[in-house]
Amino acid sequence: MSTTSIVSNAARAAGASPTPEPQVTVLDTGGQYCHLITRKIRELGVYAEIRPSETPAAELSGRKAIVISGGPCSVYEPGSPTVDPAIFSTGAAVLGICYGQQLMAHLLGGTVTKGDRGEYGLAYLEVREQSPLFRGVDHPQKIWMSHRDTVGALPDGFRLLASTETCGTAAIADPERRLYGVQFHPEVVHTECGREILTNFLFGISGCQHDWNPKHRISLIEDQIREVAGGRNVFFFVSGGVDSTVAYTLCLRALGPERVRGLYVDTGLMREGETPYVRQLFASLGATNFSVEDARERFLSALSGVHEPERKRNIIGEKFVEVQDEILQTEHFLDGHWILGQGTIYPDTIESGGSAKADLIKTHHNRVAGIQRLIESNRIIEPLSLFYKDEVREIGRELGIPAEFLERHPFPGPGLAIRCLCSQQPAALQRVDDGWIVPVHSVGVQGDSRTYRPILLLDASRGWEEDYSRATRLINASADFNRVVVQPKAKDPGGFRVFCTDLSDDRLERLRRADDIVRRLCRESGFDREVWQFPVVLIPLGTETAPDSVVLRPVHSVDGMTAQSVPMPQALLDRMCEDLLRVPGVCTVLYDLTHKPPGTIEWE
């Protein structure tokens, strides 16, 4: 179901006024951030919709603005997404973002070429010519990039507005026709001037009017729940995370506790003390139909000998469906009176290729084939599927869920399995100019596409500022790795190697202990309130007596779509390293310096 149809159905169910005619259409060319663009526009008080990129211009009559999203393809490749060229002469203002700028230039007679090197994550924008698009924007400004292709020769009538150190055409415009393009992403939180740029485009250039104020979200969502559920009850597999708990609470409110059943599956992939915590949490929410299923042996045996991250995620997702189906059949829940509820949020669907042209970044456990079958048979309700993590927390606050719980860091549905990396064969490190190539592969996202590459271990730390600058520069310059790490407590990596490892009980327990140490020290120091998420990762890098290394990954984000690696206070980092190096089997501690993009927040 599209964004528009869900909102419209909910509004009709609530007896609210009809959804306004969209002033803005976002054309989806497969970018990760397509829905994020739409949400940012709505936050500015303008109703926006998403349509396929090839939507005929005639169907966009009356729009004040059209936005062409980013995407994972190259405009010069056969079959790459395109738009109806007539949109550039409808009279609507047009903004092309990333791939959208390249596509605009390509269709209007300019050139697009593959850059000498990519540009992923943080960059600095220099405004070369004043324009209504950059009114009130100081420079240089921090912006967020994710591209390798770049606009070369500009189309007739276009002027260069801005550039970065790597990208000479960071912004272009034909002001006479109100056509604008930016190579960076103004919609993401890490572009400091993004809100001002979008405001300038919507109101100063396009002439949009305020017509959207998403109040009463909870009542609309609850009416949507009642409409979708009908006379059926809802069965939730809850994780104890923010998303599933908020979705469960919404269903409790909408349908009453007697119509909502909750079950927590202990997969054996949980954090220390997680199962008792979840029992206590749901008791406090008034969940009377709640139970715990011990499935630890089933999950661990299914994951035995599995190394590849996508395979892990698929096995975990399918195992969830298998356990779920057995429980539903045992409890006689397949008689048509029950449907499955999930806490799926928007990044789960878009990173799994849920948008028509989006590249698969990683398969989420609630978007594997078994879940898709349930969706197709109309047995799924996902009240939060159009929201982002920050919006889910806001809804939770409106529901009265305690702030202490809502501020918990996100934890992935597959649990520690995707933070405990495995290797199918032993391998040696490769010495390069700036450090060591470690042949442990992690997932990244570069140019809206998935990458799966080794990591670079820097030869030595030179201080946070220099380390981060080196990391960004080296990733942009090389396709040999997609993640850069450094050792806070230096050891000679020459004696390290990668071991052949599985997802074993002892390695999971090692990671569980390391994760518990990090969480405890972060709570005690208050550092947990300074970051959005802090994954702790175990990789099979070390020595015969200590075959694993712990990776620290603290990041700042708002919605999980982009993230910035966060430096830690030195005293806290020193204490953390000391405690982690006392865990049996841990060789060294590494610190992940990689932003998103080019690295995903989780390593798998």
Our answer to whether residue 422 is catalytic in this structure is no
Please give the structure tokens belonging to residue 206. 């396009």
Q: Which listed residue (187, 222, 382, 391) is catalytic?
A: 187
Structure token pair of residue 343: 């806490």
Rg of the chain in Å (alpha carbons): 24
Active-site position among 147, 185, 365, 595 = 185
Residue 34's φ and ψ, nearest 5 degrees, are: -60, -50
- The 3-state DSSP composition of the chain as helix, strand, coil percent (nearest 5) reads 35, 25, 40
- H helices present in 488-604, as ranges: 505-525, 570-580
Q: Is 307 a catalytic residue?
A: no
In the block, tokens 């939730």 appear at: 236
Q: How far apart are the C-alpha atoms of 33 and 22, rounded to whole Å?
A: 19
Determine the Cα angle at 475 with ends 596 and 188, to 5°.
Answer: 25
Q: Before 597, cis peptide (omega within 30)?
A: yes
In 394-448 the beta strands, taken as DSSP E runs, fall at: 427-428, 430-432, 435-446
Q: How many residues make up the chain in this entry?
A: 604
Told to judge if 187 belongs to the known catalytic residues of this protein, a careful annotator would answer: yes
Give every strand in the sheet of 435-446, ordered side by side: 430-432, 435-446, 449-458, 483-486, 586-592, 548-552, 536-539
**Residue 376 burial (10 A CB sphere; 0-12, 13-18, 19+):** exposed
CB 225 within 8 A of CB 391: no
SS (H, E, C) 485-519: EECCCCCCHHHCEECCECCCHHHHHHHHHHHHHHH
**Position of tokens 């009356």?**
62
In the DSSP assignment, the letter for residue 448 is T
Angle at 163 between CA 24 and CA 467, to 5 degrees: 110
Question: Which residue among 34, 73, 98, 420 is the active-site one?
Answer: 98
> How many Cα atoms within 13 Å fall on the side-chain side of residue 238?
31
Contacts of 367 by beta carbon, 8 Å cutoff, 6+ apart: 317, 344, 348, 349, 352, 354
- Non-local CB neighbours of 376 within 8 Å, separated by 6+ positions: none
List, in sequence order, every beta strand (DSSP E) within 332-373. 338-341
Q: For residues 349 and 351, what is the distance between their CA atoms, to the nearest angstrom?
A: 6
What is the SS3 assignment for 221-288? HHHHHHHHHCCCEEEEEECCCHHHHHHHHHHHHHHCHHHEEEEEEECCCCCCCHHHHHHHHHHHCCCC
Answer whether 140's CB lies under 8 Å from 125's CB. Answer: yes
Active-site residue list = 98, 185, 187
